[in-house]
Structure 1
Amino acid sequence: MTMQSILEETKIFLKHLGLNEEPFGVYYADTKPEKSYGPKPGVSISRELEDQRQIDMQEVFKTFSCVMGNIWLARKKNAAAYISSKEYGCPGGVFYCSMMKPNLRFIEHYVTTGFEGTPIHGERYLPSPESMRKFLDTVDPPKAQGKYCIFKPLSLFMDGEEPEFIIFFARPEVLTGLFVQTTFTTGEVDSVASPFGAGCTNILAWPLYYKAKGMEKAVLGGFDPSARKYMKADELTFTISLSLYQKMLKALPESMFNVGENWTTVRKKIDRSKKAWGEND
Structure 2
Amino acid sequence: MTVQSAIARAAGFATEPVAIVWTDTKPEGALEFRPGVWGCVMWMYARVAKDKKTAVFTRETIGCIGAALGLGFGRPFERHSAKSEEGFCSFLSNGIEGAQDRAAYTAVVESGRDERNKKVLARGERLLKNPEVAKAFLAALPEYDIKEQYIVMMPLSQVGDGEEVKSVVFLADADQISALSILANYGTGTITERVTVAAGASGCQAIGACVYAEGEGERPRAVIGLTDITARRNVRKMLGKDKLTFAVPYSMFLEMETYVPGSFLESDEWKELIASE
- Give per-residue Cα distances to partners, 1:43-96, cap 9 Å, x unaligned: xxxxxxxxxxxxxxxxxxxx1111101112233431112222111210111111
- CA RMSD in angstroms, aligned pairs only: 1.9
Structure 1 residues 35-184: aligned runs within 5 Å: 35-42=29-36, 63-101=37-75, 103=77, 104-105=84-85, 106-116=87-97, 117=106, 118=109, 119=119, 120=121, 121-184=123-186
Distance 1:186 1:82, change over 3 A: farther
- Give per-residue Cα distances to partners, 1:91-135, cap 9 Å, x unaligned: 111111111236441332222112345432111111111111111
Contact 1:202-1:221 within 8 A present in 2 as well = yes
Which amino acid letter does the alignment assign opposite residue 124 of structure 1?
Answer: R
* Identity in percent: 26
Contact 2:166-2:212 within 8 A present in 1 as well = no
- Give per-residue Cα distances to partners, 1:195-251, cap 9 Å, x unaligned: 320001111111122223333100011110100131322000000111111111112
Which amino acid letter does the alignment assign opposite residue 111 of structure 1?
Answer: L
Rounded to whole Å, the distance in 1 between the matches of 2:159 and 2:132 is 40
TM-score normalized by the length of structure 1: 0.80
Gaps of 5+ in 2: 78-83, 98-105, 110-118
1:35 Cα offset (Å): 2.3
Gaps of 5+ in 1: 43-62, 274-281
Runs of 4+ in 1 over 4 A off after TM superposition: none
Which amino acid letter does the alignment assign opposite residue 41 of structure 1?
Answer: P
Aligned length in residues: 243
Identify the match of residue 252 of structure 1 among 255, 260, 270.
Answer: 260
1:268 Cα offset (Å): 2.7
TM-score normalized by the length of structure 2: 0.81
What secondary structure does 1:220 align onto? strand
Which amino acid letter does the alignment assign opposite residue 78 of structure 1?
Answer: K
1:27 equivalent to 2:18? Answer no
What secondary structure does 2:215 align onto? helix
What secondary structure does 2:57 align onto? strand
1:265 Cα offset (Å): 2.9
